Amino acid sequence: MRNSFSSASLLLGLIALGGCNTTSQEPQISAPMQPSAMAVSNATVMSSNVRLSGGHDCASVVSDWQAIQDNDLRMGHVHPSVYALISKDIASARTACSAGRDAEARSLVQASRARHGYPN
């Protein structure tokens, strides 16, 4: 009796597993965006009144990162708690820049952008 019960349980288990053997499509993976596509994409989420300096000195890099964050907060693209974290990053970068540590300031901005999912 015990042997037939085990066989029946095994058979039911195999039948149940057989039902799970459906085929599905593989998930679609999109190609990474090209830099020009990212620029267009970024332009569509920025308010028209946001002006970035586009400069390469540390003061411009820090102020542009601040402007992006202010815009994202205003538009609801970033949660206030995340904005507060990024603001601390910006303050550190601004301090480094003011002290003449240009490379450090740029590095802090770049790390903040990467940490929060913004393209560099």
**What is the Cα–Cα distance from 60 to 63, expressed in whole angstroms?**
5
Q: Give the pLDDT score at 37.
A: 40
41 contact partners, CB below 8 Å, separation of at least 6: 33
Q: What type of residue sits at position 56?
A: H
Q: Are 65 and 112 in contact (CB under 8 A)?
A: yes
Higher pLDDT, 50 or 1: 50
**Tens digits of residue pLDDT in 39-97:** 434 444 566 677 888 888 999 999 999 999 999 999 999 999 999 999 999 999 999 99
Q: pTM, whole model, 2 decimals?
A: 0.61
CA atoms within 13 A on the CB side of 30: 3
65 and 93 Cβ atoms separated by less than 8 Å: yes
Q: Is the pLDDT of residue 8 over 50?
A: yes
59 neighbors 91 (Cβ within 8 angstroms): no
pLDDT of residue 84: 97
Q: What are phi and psi of 68, to 5 degrees?
A: -65, -45
The residue type found at 66 is Q
